[in-house]
Structures are given as C-alpha cells and as structure tokens.
C-alpha cells in the first residue's frame, strides 16, 4: 500500500512542477515576424496575440463577449516578462465584465484566434476588418 501512496505522491509532485513550469512560461511575451517582415506579439509558445478595434469604445474594457470570446479567447498572464525592444510597462491587466482578468498591451485587451493552431499562424489578421496583430513600432496607446 505504501508503494502506491509514494508513487501517487511522486506523480502528483511531478504534475504540480509541470503545471508551475507552464504557468511561468506563459508569462513571456515576445515578437515574431510576418512573411513581409512586420513584427507582431506572440506568447511563449509562439501563438499570435491580437487586438479588437471595437474595444476602443469600451472605456478600458473588452467589447468581445459570448460567441465572440469563444472564437477569440482572452489572453491572460499574471505577470509578463519581455525582452527588448518590448517594454514590460506597456502591459497591464483589465477586469472583464464577467470579473475575469485579461492582459492588455498599451491599454488594448489581448486575444488569441481559435483558428491559429500552430506557432506563427496569423490567420486572424484582418478578420472582419476589426481583428489585427500588434506591431509595437506602429501601435498607439489606447485613450
């Protein structure tokens, strides 16, 4: 009986360590390049982060809820680590209408696109003429 308990404990500790490692890695935001050479934000797995132009009318909140949020899941990391040329102070957190948290860049909430399945996918770029990747060099702060 003790052997099983020890094995379960070791397995559980391994799971906790793995979950902690993944959580820490997800806090890293970096840059990738489109085929045309434009920079854009990605998470630690290379998955593209987008902004929604309709968020500009939400006074610091998100206009994407319900089915929109199913297609465009919110990106959230408790703390964000970056490397140059990104600046950590450009990142923040908003509280969504449902009380959940979402990371933001220069005040704009960040999202994934469900049809981006591989690192480097940018299939959400231009969807509905309201969803776009973020090029930090050409991206203003949200008022």
95 contacts: CB under 8 Å, gap ≥ 6: 61, 101, 102
Question: What integer is the mean pLDDT of 14-38?
Answer: 63
57 contacts: CB under 8 Å, gap ≥ 6: 63
Domain extents in the chain: 28-138
Structure tokens at 91: 């990142």
Rounded to the nearest integer, the mean pLDDT of the chain is: 84
Structure tokens at 81: 């680590």
Q: Quote the pTM value.
A: 0.80
Question: What integer is the mean pLDDT of 41-45?
Answer: 96
Half-sphere exposure of residue 81: CA atoms within 13 angstroms, side-chain side: 7
55-75 pLDDT, tens digit per residue, is 998 888 999 999 999 999 999
Is the four-CA dihedral 63, 88, 126, 142 of positive or negative sign? positive
């Amino acid at each position: 009986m003790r052997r099983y308990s020890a094995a379960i404990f070791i397995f559980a500790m391994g799971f906790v360590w793995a979950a902690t490692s993944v959580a820490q890695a997800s806090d890293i935001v970096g840059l990738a390049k489109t085929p045309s050479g434009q920079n854009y934000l990605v998470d630690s797995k290379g998955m593209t982060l987008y902004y929604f132009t309709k968020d500009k009318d939400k006074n610091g909140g998100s206009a994407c809820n319900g089915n929109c949020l199913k297609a465009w899941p919110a990106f959230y990391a408790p703390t964000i680590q970056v490397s140059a040329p990104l600046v950590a102070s450009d990142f923040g957190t908003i509280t969504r209408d449902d009380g959940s948290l979402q990371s933001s860049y220069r005040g704009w909430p960040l999202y994934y696109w469900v049809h981006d399945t591989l690192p480097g996918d940018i299939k959400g770029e231009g969807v509905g003429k309201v969803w776009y990747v973020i090029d930090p060099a050409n991206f203003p702060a949200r008022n």
